[in-house]
Structure 1
Amino acid sequence: MKSATIGIRELRDGLSRHLAEVRAGTELTVTDHGRPIARIVPIGSDSGLEALVRAGLATLPRSRRAALPEPVDASGTVSDLVADQRR
Structure 2
Amino acid sequence: MEIGIRELRDTLSRQLAAVRAGRTVTVTDHGRPFARIVPVDQPTRLEQLRAEGHIRPAGRRKRPAPDPVPATGTVSDLIGDQRR
Question: Is TM > 0.5 for Structure 1 vs Structure 2?
Answer: yes
Instruction: Name structure 1 gaps, 5 residues minimum.
Output: none
Equivalent pairs counted in the alignment come to 83
Q: Which amino acid in the other structure matches residue 54 of structure 1?
A: A
TM-fit CA distance, 1:68: 1.1
Q: How many Å separate the matches in 1 of 2:49 and 2:79?
A: 41
| Number of the residue aligned with 2:61 | 64
Please identify runs of 4+ aligned residues in structure 1 that moved more than 3 A.
75-83
| Number of the residue aligned with 2:24 | 27
Output aligned runs, 1:29-68, within 5 Å.
29-68=26-65
Cα RMSD of the aligned pairs, angstroms, is 1.8
More displaced stretch, 28-37 vs 50-59 = 50-59
TM-fit CA distance, 1:77: 4.5
Query: What's the secondary structure of 1:29's corresponding residue?
Result: strand
| Number of the residue aligned with 2:10 | 13
More displaced stretch, 16-25 vs 58-67 = 58-67
Q: How many Å separate the matches in 1 of 2:78 and 2:44?
A: 43
Q: TM-score, normalised by structure 1?
A: 0.80
